[in-house]
Amino acid sequence: MASPELQALLAALRAAPDAAGQTVEQLRQAMEQGASRYPVPGDVRRTPMQAGSVAVEWVVAPGADEGAVVLLLHGGGYYRGSIATHRELAGQMSRASGAAVLAATYRLAPEHKFPAPVEDALAVYRWLLRGGADARRLAVAGNSAGGGLALALLLALRAAGEPLPAAAVCLSPWVDLAQTGGSYGARAAEDPSLSKAYLDRAARDYLGGADPRTPLASPLYGDLAGLPPLLIQVGTAEVLLDDSIRLADKARAAGVDTTLEVWPEMFHVWHRHAQQLPEARQAIAAIGDFLRAVWTGAPAGAAEREARRKRG
């Protein structure tokens, strides 16, 4: 049953202006203003840096092992979002996983179209490796478009013959820019924040005429064999639900150790409201458990992890 906090937040989301009718600049400002409601706790250390031409920021909770790193790629439909909009999530992930989180920006559409974000994500990952990061203690994470970008990064690294990270975490990932999943229609009345019309516009602005089934834009259409363990979290109240389900099915068929967590009644990237929602804190704790298990070198199998989550 939904918590009272979730019910209140859903009501607020449903009362917000329709995103499909707003300009890019309005939506960018709304995301930045929304993030300001959740300040980063004072005990979280923040260190802005440059990874070449890409702005990044280390976000490190007390006691984190800085030899373990999570590269966090923000969401926002490839046209909005920033370190500022995802800094609080980065701090929550650092605290839960016991790792240092590197939050990264990337160039945004429509000013910078595909594959600019993939190029920027690659640049940051290579910067980490040059700086001494151990790929065996590296993870890539992303939400929404950032979840798709995290997978595109893995595909690009594999194609280049470069070391893959130890794991990837995808939160409500957008992995099919052709938007062929049944949930785009079936969940339209339940989703309080996304619509197919909104995503169609974001896809057009990002792709700039490229094929929406290009794997580096839509990893659902790529060959997933050889990827590291994946954790995918998605809510039942999302038009993107089928993106996650189909991604998990395809990854498992390719032999990838894949954990899919479908959270009842959750909306798109509920994780960003951890200061308000107990369900968000629970989901982030599960992310921390997953990453700690991977980094210890003895992760439980995906089926066992899912069974444990259902029992708990």
Q: How do residues 163-197 score in pLDDT, each as one tens digit?
A: 999 999 999 999 999 999 999 999 999 999 999 99
Q: Which of 57, 238, 261, 279 is catalytic?
A: 238
pLDDT band per the 50, 70, 90 thresholds, residue 2 = confident
Using only C-alpha atoms, what is the Rg of the chain? 18
Among 74, 82, 172, 268, the active-site one is 268
**306 an active-site residue?**
no
DSSP character at residue 248: H
Q: Which one-letter amino acid corresponds to residue 56?
A: V
Alpha helices in 23-115 (DSSP H): 24-35, 83-97
Q: Which of 94, 144, 183, 218 is catalytic?
A: 144
Evaluate whether 102 touches 71 at the Cβ level (below 8 Å). Answer: yes
Active site residue 144: yes
Look over the chain and give the mean of its residue pLDDT values, rounded to a whole number: 93
71-103: buried (b, 16+ CB within 10 Å) or exposed (e) per residue? bbbbbbbbbbbbbbbbbbbbbbbbbbbebbbbb
Which of these ranges, 60-64, 82-86, 300-304, has the smallest mean pLDDT?
A: 300-304
Distances in whole angstroms, Cα of residue 136 to Cα of each of 94, 132, 139: 17, 12, 8
Q: Which residue type, as a one-letter code, is found at position 11?
A: A
Tell whether pTM > 0.85: yes
Q: Among 3.30.750.210, 1.20.120.10, 3.30.1960.10, 3.40.50.1820, name the CATH number for the domain at 4-311.
A: 3.40.50.1820
- Please report the pLDDT score of residue 298 as a whole number: 57
Query: Is 238 noted as a catalytic residue in this protein?
Result: yes
